[in-house]
Structure 1
Amino acid sequence: MTDLAVPVRPHARRLAGWALVTTILLWASSYPAIRAGLRGFEPGPLAALRYGVAALAFLVPALAGRLPRPRGADLGRIVVAGGLGIALYNLALNSGEVTVSAGAAGFLINCSPIFTALLGRLFLDERLRIMGWVGSVVSLGGVALIAAGEGGATGVGSGAWLILLAAGCQSIQFVLQKPLIQRYGALATTGYVVFVGALFLLPYLPAAVRAIPAAAGIPLASAIYLGLFPAALAYAAWSVVLAHFPAGRASSFLYLVAPLATGLAVLWLGEWPSPLALCGGVTVILGVILVNTLGRPRRA
């Protein structure tokens, strides 16, 4: 019997639902915040400052004894999850957003649920019905539309490949951390991964500190916001989601991040999406509906 057959208490399901809403809203805000932060910081220093702030936030529960010591057998999984899912993901995403708009970046990251569903099938025995895979392909088509609409005649540019790399790194992190959540809980698992990611980004921290005087204002405020909310709080909330939903199904909800990110980019940065990009957003949402209705696996 798989974990899909284990009944979930109603209050736990509600908690996971609120955690999912929190994650989507905060991660949607991260794309325009990154664009704002890049006006004062280079991609590497911005990532280092962001996760330096997040690591400081997790020091509070760590010093209070709320983070149990991980077992030696899990250290490799934690290091890979933090190195790929935090450090490399943010370096690739920040570098990609130098040339890619916030809305387009959000839609391109939507490849992550496709990767996560495949990895979940291979390593976690999490199954999607055929319409789940159809929905994933539909959403991926929406990603292609938004990329073409934002890039015009020349395409999104080389930054798109970096963002696709980030999507792959995020998927690996989601799959690697799911067994850790079951053993240590959401708070501890997120703290471990954030600490490791911050350590990998440490070489960029001196440059971030040197850039602070010139970046004071919106870029600095954006970096601090990214560390406290889309990093520390949202990753902790996402761990709660993964504790109650299969990794592939949970990540399919993240398709909703991109339309929200596009709207926030319009309000915050004045980055208006093209009509083709809006069409892509509708296509992505259609794929989400397919995955989470007709694509749900039957319970044992």
Structure 2
Amino acid sequence: MNIKILAAHALIIILWGSAFAGIRHGLEGYSPEHLSLLRLLVGSIALVIYAGKTKMKFPELKDWPVIFLFGFLGFAVYQTALNIGEQSVSAGAASLLISTSPVFIGLLGRIFLKERAGKRYWLGAFICIAGILLISLGSGGGIELGFGVILILIASLSESLYFVFQKKFLNKYGALPFTAYTIWAATLLMLVYAPGLRAQLAEAPAGATASAIYLGLFPTVIAYFALAYITAKSGASEAASSLYLTPAASFIIAWVWLGEAPTMTTLLGGLITLIGVSFTYFRMSMTEIEEAKTSY
């Protein structure tokens, strides 16, 4: 593994790990909906510039309804639900809850694609449930699932739906163009929240606005370019291999950036959750792994 590949891995881990702290910071000046819209607007503008320079082709008209559905699930619902959830859940805990996506991907594959889920998968799912309950307890939600935890799990499910059913279109258009299409579609859908954005831009602290711009440029766009670079050079399984370090990076960054010190209950719940996820992750085929971990 050469230094460029290592640097790309580090970039992905740091940028996606920082996204959760960036959201918490951005929420100090913006509502969850407006933060998502501003983040998508920034990402869309950057991708329009990239599309112009690379002469990216537009998708076929018949695929636009599906692209809007994917944009709705993979970005609009995912980001908004995550933002609302992080109003009451710490950045580190949120990153652990999002990392449950392989569990949802395995379940969706069983329901819709008739894939077999063996004992290892179900054992991992039950372990994850125990870990999630501990994370909820550490986040102040008691032993039951708190509202913020439920919303972040909905975000994880929405992201999983995005990844499970996108393979046909990734093969047709390529990863970067298809991601750009879905981000543009999500931005158009989120324009329903445009009223009030100008007022929040005027009133929000400069730091919150900087966080929103950072989220739109770096975790949303730059990290995905790094992932595409690793995939092109070393394959999809190599690109996915280091992403389990993202929650650890998220805890460290949130601690330094926001002063969020994780509780022992949250750390224990996170460890149990990652153990459970590992059971489902390592039973997945390389194709499933490729689709499971591409964007935070």
> What is the TM-score normalised by the length of structure 1?
0.80
Change beyond 3 A, Cα 1:40–1:284 = same
2:88 matched residue in structure 1: 99
| Larger CA deviation: 211-220 vs 232-241 | 232-241
Change beyond 3 A, Cα 1:56–1:181 = same
Q: Match for 2:21 among 7, 24, 32?
A: 32
Change beyond 3 A, Cα 1:76–1:251 = farther
What is the total number of aligned residue pairs between the two structures? 284
Change beyond 3 A, Cα 1:215–1:30 = same
Q: Residues 9-28 of structure 1: matches in 2 within 5 Å?
A: 22-28=11-17
Conserved in 2, the CA contact under 8 Å of 1:148 and 1:155?
yes
Change beyond 3 A, Cα 1:22–1:284 = farther
SS of equivalent residue, structure 2 residue 140: helix
| Larger CA deviation: 34-43 vs 68-77 | 68-77
Letter in structure 2 aligned against 1:83 = F
| Separation in 1, partners of 2:26, 2:266 | 24
Change beyond 3 A, Cα 1:46–1:113 = same
Report how far residue 291 of structure 1 moved: 4.1
Conserved in 1, the CA contact under 8 Å of 2:89 and 2:148?
yes
In the alignment, does 2:29 pair up with 1:43? no
1:57 matched residue in structure 2: 46
Report how far residue 177 of structure 1 moved: 2.4
Report how far residue 147 of structure 1 moved: 1.8
1:3 matched residue in structure 2: none
Change beyond 3 A, Cα 1:213–1:245 = same
Change beyond 3 A, Cα 1:18–1:126 = farther
In the alignment, does 2:272 pair up with 1:277? no
In the alignment, does 2:204 pair up with 1:215? yes
Report how far residue 178 of structure 1 moved: 2.4
Q: Residues 242-281 of structure 1: matches in 2 within 5 Å?
A: 245=236, 256-281=245-270
Q: Residues 103-252 of structure 1: matches in 2 within 5 Å?
A: 103-123=92-112, 130-151=119-140, 153=142, 157-237=146-226, 245=236
SS of equivalent residue, structure 1 residue 35: helix
Report how far residue 122 of structure 1 moved: 4.6
Identity of aligned residues (%): 38
2:71 matched residue in structure 1: 82
| Separation in 2, partners of 1:194, 1:296 | 27
| Separation in 2, partners of 1:91, 1:53 | 16
| Separation in 2, partners of 1:127, 1:183 | 27
Q: Cα RMSD over matched residues?
A: 3.3
Report how far residue 72 of structure 1 moved: 3.3
Conserved in 2, the CA contact under 8 Å of 1:253 and 1:288?
no
SS of equivalent residue, structure 2 residue 139: helix
1:221-253 Cα distance to aligned partner (Å, 9 max, x none) = 10000000111223455567889548xx98897
SS of equivalent residue, structure 1 residue 64: helix
SS of equivalent residue, structure 1 residue 147: helix
Extract unaligned runs of 5+ from structure 1: 1-9
Letter in structure 2 aligned against 1:272 = A
Conserved in 1, the CA contact under 8 Å of 2:14 and 2:249?
yes
Report how far residue 74 of structure 1 moved: 2.5
SS of equivalent residue, structure 2 residue 89: coil
Change beyond 3 A, Cα 1:116–1:152 = closer
Extract unaligned runs of 5+ from structure 2: 288-296
Conserved in 1, the CA contact under 8 Å of 2:16 and 2:246?
yes
SS of equivalent residue, structure 1 residue 151: coil
| Separation in 1, partners of 2:199, 2:286 | 54
1:72 matched residue in structure 2: 61
| Separation in 2, partners of 1:19, 1:139 | 29
